[in-house]
A = this chain, B = another copy of it.
Amino acid sequence: MSLDEETDALDENTTPAAAREAFRAGVVRPTCGVAKGYAQANMISLPREYAYDFLLFAQRNPKPCPILDVLDAGSPFPSIAAGSDVRTDIPLYRVWENGKLVDTLPDITDVWAKHDDLVTFLIGCSFTFEFPLMEAGIPVRHILAGRNVPMYDTSIKCRPAGRFSANMVVSMRGVQPDQVADAVQISARYPSVHGAPVCVGSPESIGITDVMHPDYGDAPVLEEGDVPVFWACGVTPQAAVMASKPTFAITHAPGHMFISDVPDRTYMV
């Protein structure tokens, strides 16, 4: 298959290992709607000297930064996916220097090699509860439209920790009024992947002025009567990188996640 065919071939029935292999081979696309039933993760790698501050930042802000895995310094091998390598198995990466985005790459092997002590954090992603939402009859419109989820900077201040501070980033899904309660309850069962929404129905109350123009991802698909529902988002660490300016960082590109081997239901409480 060509890369284009491989991109199209990835869907909810793709296994996590096959999806990672496709990304390793060069496929670049958002991972929403791929590998149904398996937890997806946000990624950030930081020099060892920032690891404690960042881990504490995550601990103090568990809604946007629920930690699924922390790799040992220098190791690219996660425990939540057999045989995987965080340098190659994510579709698209961002490279940061002093809080500035300096590169966007489908493979970070060369960049990684210049640093010997990177500590990598894998953080829960709301894509994990999108399939349970759909199974409950709640249409997840960006998946149905083949788009990335819309994500927004907000005025919600995270609790700072050491050198890290940030305003929370959120993802948004439009939900019909009679399905909001179900969406809340279903997502609440997954606290490790952001859990219940942080805001329902009032974008301006969290500093979002134009819901049709997200800061990350694709423009939303909203149907007549949809209530905008906002969940804490694992892009928040990237807002922390921009605000706090660590000397170096690598993250995934928003919506382009690490797909783990861990079944969603493992994270259900």
Contact = CB atoms under 8 A, between A and B. Distances in A.
Interface of A: 51-52, 55-56, 59-60, 67, 70, 161, 188-189, 191, 195, 269
A143 B70 CA distance: 38
14 contacts: A51-B52, A52-B52, A52-B55, A55-B56, A56-B70, A59-B59, A59-B67, A59-B70, A60-B70, A188-B269, A189-B269, A191-B191, A191-B269, A195-B269
Copies in the complex: 2
A110 B19 CA distance: 57
Determine the main DSSP class of A at the interface with B: helix
Contacts of A189: 269
Nearest to A51: B52
A147 B128 CA distance: 44
A214 B55 CA distance: 34
| 5 residue pairs, one from A and one from B, having the closest CB atoms | A52-B52, A55-B55, A59-B67, A191-B269, A269-B269
A53 to B, nearest CB: 9
Contacts of A67: 59
Given A55-B59, A59-B59, 4 more contacts: A52-B52, A59-B67, A188-B269, A191-B269
A59 B60 CA distance: 12
